A and B are shown apart, each in its own frame.
Chain A
Amino acid sequence: MNVNTDSSIPIYIQIAEWIENEILADRLITDGKVYSQYQLAEMFNINPATAGKGLTILLENNILYKKRGLGMFVQGGAKEFIVEKRRDEKLTILAKEIVLEAKRLFVSDDELIELIKKVQKGC
């Protein structure tokens, strides 16, 4: 992934989401060590303070925990928490956008469901 500096989503949120995705994909597991802000800064070519902000959000949401002098680690149950949170927030917003656009284009409910099924098969 590359961070998108043009996006209206702040870079530190993009970083937080990327780490969440790593947890969802089991590339980061419970009690596993997470990248430091300096590693993230190098990986994404961004200011370390920005990367640090991304980590802080995850810390505040209890997705990560801190061990003094050792770094940050994945909290138990983090994956389930992220799934639930993203379903509530992100997926609902995306669904709203799809429904709105479908309405504008006179797409019927059945056609929309058919379209989603078609896309799912492609994934």
Chain B
Amino acid sequence: MAIVCNEVIKKYRNHKALKSMSFLIEEDKITGLIGRNGAGKSTLLKIVAGLQKATSGHVQIYGEQPFNNLKVASNLVFIEDTMSFSPIFNLGELFQMAKDFFPHWQDDLARKLLAYANISEKEYHHHLSKGQKSTFNLIYGLATRCKVTLLDEPMNGMDEAIRSDMYRAILKEYIAFPRTIIISSHHLHEIEHLTEDVLLINHGHVTLHAPLEDVKGLLVKLVGNITKIKESIPSAEIYYENESLVNGEVIVEATSIASRETELSQQGISIHPVSASEVCKYLTSQTRGGIDDVFK
């Protein structure tokens, strides 16, 4: 097992950012870490990376606890928005130093990718624009070829074109040298094609940890007369309902309508698939009516 988290809790003063989080991540898988703002994504990654210490519980990276551990540090890379590099060295020199620290550093690749992104090696990190910083950080992270690669919102601030190029770069690098990757995002949609598993967290808890294809089929949307829909599925748990549209919409678990498709369609109720990113949205929403509840 590449990453083990067991009952990890993180408290900041009075605020509990992580409330007993447990999960296992297998070696060489790409996992999408999904959650709303403030769900605890960054806190979790910081603890897995060993930058912060959990208040209680334990974390293991290939059997080693990551906090203050040099062995983990040279085999793990954590890419995030606020990464800072020494201001006295230019980007080319930063690459030069990475070569000494990371045993699998791909110098040629790093320089080629940087040139492709139109960023000069003579530039300094603190002079780059937000998008350029993100691009440089991601290139740096990929070129380390670390066994464990943690990417926290790596595409923040990048323009559309470089974004899709960088997703492609992640995939190509992963194929060339498989490694355990966690990539966090609030847009599952954007990383869907890349990910094998989804780890959905909400309010410091793990809501769901499953293969992407299973997440897709988890919920269904029923469209039709809302009273009729509710009558036909009295025991189903409702994740979302909206009666203010022309046709009522109800989101329920796919298992609650299993093998009743024809019966429902005879009653004028149509069944629609719910995309993986929508599943994540509904599983983590506070209310059953969404934004419309606020305006009631």
| A residues lining the B interface (CB < 8 Å) | 3, 5-6, 8, 10-12, 38, 41-42, 45-50, 53
Contact = CB atoms under 8 A, between A and B. Distances in A.
Nearest to B30: A47
B193 A46 contact: yes
Interface residues of B, number: 20
B99 interface: no
A42 B172 contact: yes
Contact of B213 (A3, A10, A42): A10
9 contacts: A5-B189, A5-B193, A8-B216, A10-B213, A41-B175, A45-B168, A45-B193, A46-B171, A47-B194
A11 B189 contact: no
A6 B192 CA distance: 10
B175 A11 contact: no
B218 to A, nearest CB: 12
Contacts of A10: 213, 216-217
Interface in B22-79: 29-30
A41 B193 CA distance: 10
Contacts of B195: 47
Given A47-B193, A47-B195, A47-B196, A8 B273 contact: yes
Interface in B121-179: 167-168, 171-172, 174-175
Interface string B270-296: 000101000000000000000000000
B196 A49 contact: yes
B213 to A, nearest CB: 5
B77 to A, nearest CB: 20
A101 B30 CA distance: 42
A53 B213 CA distance: 11
A5 B29 contact: no
A46 B195 CA distance: 8
A42 B171 contact: yes
A47 B170 CA distance: 10
A49 B30 CA distance: 9
Nearest to A49: B196
Nearest to B175: A38
A41 B175 CA distance: 8
B291 to A, nearest CB: 22
Nearest to A100: B265
